[in-house]
Structure 1
């Protein structure tokens, strides 16, 4: 069975994701689509709009055959680490291809850039550090470093988020010595950072979230940009919990952590550096909400996403030492969130070759990677109404993989 991987957040699953899924299957002639999906918190350092279980249902309805959780220690990281964690999972599952959307749309752009950087590694890193010290963000510094070494070259735009991720997917494949073949699809219509929904059928996840997080939102306003299943799953979630998750619900908890933790503990939190916690402590006292707080804290050097990730690690009490322990060595497990009948068949055929333990609940293995996940999931549940929190805290332990057909478990 030929398998193709997609690396996703589905926050939420929309028509652009559906197009990507269909094109990935068609262009690679895949029998099985394996979606490596972030869990409760995401790469930009923010909570997922709805739970990973609801997003797993969206993914399966949209055509995924296996949904695998990308652990917190990878899902909330800069592009390089995020990509390496996801590609490691796909490599361990003997995935034939990985298909990603990009603003470039040409796989040769990525392989050419990787070849150049591998050849000019030392000088490239020198210029990156130089431009970072001058106050540029890391993605901007990477683009400037390439331009400094190749002034006349046409550069793939590494300021675009999907181009950045695509490059790091290919870099991770090279680093792992994997046989995975990368394929890219040009993003259609909406771009990643688009803030508003237009009349056409594809909108960015950012614009959809912005619409749903308005004070007097109506779900009907997004009905033309998401599949019907997504629409009903979002509707069901809001009826049950009366929320879509966002940072504003967690800001009081973050504020408490910032104002009560000693400086040495804040410095030990992952991504805490150069006294950044002093700036956060100062501005959280004046800010009335998370958006205002982030506007006050953001600088030219520290991007919104970079600061937001640090805030998230403070919220979840994730330290530098923990991340180092959790991500060193080989992949310790693969956690299955959902599968179709085709996905079950794929696991039956490949499970004897897969050396990494496959788990379905967090009690099945003891590892620092999973310890962080448990704590992050518990933190995520604190946004629910008080009467719903007890059930939500147990959900991760009690929920088996979501299956689209009634068949026996493959292992």
Structure 2
């Protein structure tokens, strides 16, 4: 069976994602679509609007055949480490190809950029470091460094764009594998990643969909035209089951408590806390009245909103540098969240050839990397009121992979 991998968050699954799944299947002639999906906390340092189990269900009902979890040690990370974990999992699952969305939409632009940087690596990396020392963000540093080493090239890829930079790293990591997957990219339609307002009648960014949901007092009224019916159903089911959707404000009291009670020396040991930022975090935690207020006070030109949010997730989950540095450079297991019948057939076909343990329950393996996932899920549950908190606690241990009979 021909398989194609997708790297996703589905926060939530919307019409643009549906287009991506269908177009990836067509372009790669795939029998099976495999999605490696972030867990309950996401790459930009945010809690997912609904749990990984609900998001996996959305994906499976909309055409994905297998959903596996990207471990916390790779999911809440900068682009390069996020890409490393994702691509290695898809490779371990024997994908023939992978397909990602991008602002570029031209796979040759990514290949050209990788070749260009490989041929000027020392010079390029020096430019990136020089720019970052001046306070320029990492994505902008990459983009400006590309212009410096190839000023006459008019069609260079813009690595300041969020999906372009992820795609660039996906392809870089894939090129290092002994049997690289074939890469495809699909141009994003209508909505940009960061758009907060609706600009199309059917396609909207996940950011704008989440914003509309919370502005409507956690109602899905007004987003139905931008998401498949299956997504609307799962969102409503989740709200009925837990009486809320998740965002950062739910976790602000816990984060504020952590920042006010922890010693600065201990805070400096938390992953991604660098260059004395711990002093700034503790100082503004005293005065902020909400998470958004806190972020507005703390962010700087050097420390972007995304970078600080990731720090905040690691503070919330008490994730130390020593833990992450031990585990973010190799895949210890692959956790199956769900599958269709077609996905089950594919896994049965390849299971003897998978070198990494494929697990369907957390008791199947002892791993510090898995402990990070469990801790993150437990903290995610803290945003809920009782009895819903206990319900979600138990789900992490008791939930078997979701199985969708159709397809």
- Which TM-score tier does this pair reach, normalised by the shorter chain? over 0.9
* Equivalent residue, structure 2, for 1:37: 37
**2:68 counterpart residue number:** 68
Q: 1:389 corresponds to which residue?
A: 389
**1:199 Cα offset (Å):** 4.6
Q: CA RMSD in A?
A: 1.1
Give how far 1:262 is off. Answer: 1.1
Other structure's SS at 2:363 match? coil
Q: Contact between 2:41 and 2:75, CA under 8 Å: does it hold in 1?
A: yes
Q: Does 1:136 align with 2:136?
A: yes
Distance 2:11 2:362 in 1: 23
**Unaligned 5+ residue runs, structure 2?**
none
Contact 1:326 1:367 in 2 (8 A): no
- 1:226 is the counterpart of 2:227: yes
Q: Secondary structure at the match of 1:48?
A: coil
In structure 2, the partner of 1:340 is 340
Please give the per-residue CA displacement for 1:19-71, whole angstroms capped at 9, x wherever unaligned: 00000000000000000000110000000000111001100011111100000
State how 1:313-332 maps to structure 2 within 5 Å: 313-328=314-329, 330-332=330-332
- 1:266 and 1:12 map into 2 onto residues whose CA distance is 32
Structure-to-structure mapping, 1:192-271, within 5 angstroms:
192-214=193-215, 216-271=217-272
* TM superposition score normalised by structure 1: 0.97
Aligned equivalents of 2:47, 2:328: Cα separation in 1: 21
More deviation in 360-369 or 227-236? 360-369
Pairing 1:362-381 to 2, within 5 Å after superposition:
362-381=362-381
| Distance of aligned partners of 1:93 and 1:217 in 2 relative to their CA distance in 1, 3 Å threshold | closer
CA distance in 2, matches of 1:218, 1:41: 22
In the alignment, the residues of structure 2 paired with residue 123 and residue 177 of structure 1 have an alpha-carbon distance, to the nearest angstrom, of: 27
Match in the other structure for 2:21: 21
* TM-score for both structures, normalised by structure 2: 0.98
Provide the secondary structure at the position in 2 that maps to 1:392: helix
- Other structure's SS at 1:183 match: strand
SS at match of 2:4: strand
Structure 1 contact 325–368 (Cα < 8 Å) conserved: no
Instruction: State yes or no: 1:86 paired with 2:86.
Output: yes
Post-superposition offset of 1:236: 1.2
**Which residue does 2:405 correspond to in 1?**
405
C-alpha deviation, 1:332, in angstroms: 0.9
Unaligned runs of 5+ in 1: 407-411
Provide the rounded CA distance (Å) in 1 between the counterparts of 2:98 and 2:200.
Answer: 31
Find the residue that maps to 1:249 and give its secondary structure. helix
How many residue pairs match? The answer is 405
Query: After TM superposition, what 4+ stretches of structure 1 lie above 6 angstroms from structure 2?
Result: none
Q: Distance in 1 between matches of 2:218 and 2:252?
A: 21
Equivalence map 1:103-114=2 (5 Å): 103-114=103-114
- 1:50-199 aligned within 5 A: 50-154=50-154, 155-199=156-200
Distance 1:129 1:311, change over 3 A: same
Superposed CA offset, 1:325-367 (max 9, x none): 1223x42111000001111110111111111111011121111
